[in-house]
Amino acid sequence: MLLTRRQLHSIVYNACMPIRTPPGNPNAAKRSRTPPPEDTFEEAAFLKALGEKQKPVSVKLLDGQVFHGWIEYYDKSMVRLTREGAPNLFIFKHEIMYIAEDGGKRK
């Protein structure tokens, strides 16, 4: 395919043009956001507060099971969930999806 002199001039002319930044902040392309921290180091304080107050909690596991009780003990790798009318559970933290307060004080 042969290009005319005009088409060739157009290609060469556009090759030197800078790429436009999106409208808004002109420095947006240069700055990148810092990702949120992986760990906030608040886990121990949260578990300690739940255990001291014997707050009723729901513990949902990665496989979908949900257990109710209160946290009696915890360490680096596990949580002990004390339940009324059912056996106490030692649950590995890597198996927990989330722990949520059920509200109110344990009776």
Tokens read off for 44: 């121990």
Spell out the domains of the chain, with CATH numbers in brackets: 43-101 (2.30.30.100)
Residue 14: pLDDT over 60 = no
Instruction: With CA atoms as reference, report the closest residue to 59 among 80, 86, 42, 39.
Output: 80
CA distance 70 to 105: 10
């590995």: which residue's tokens? 92
pTM: 0.61
Contact by Cβ (8 Å): 22, 74: no
pLDDT digits (tens, 9 = 90+) for 42-98: 989 999 999 999 999 999 999 999 999 999 999 999 999 999 999 999 999 999 999
Q: Name the more confident of 83 and 40.
A: 83
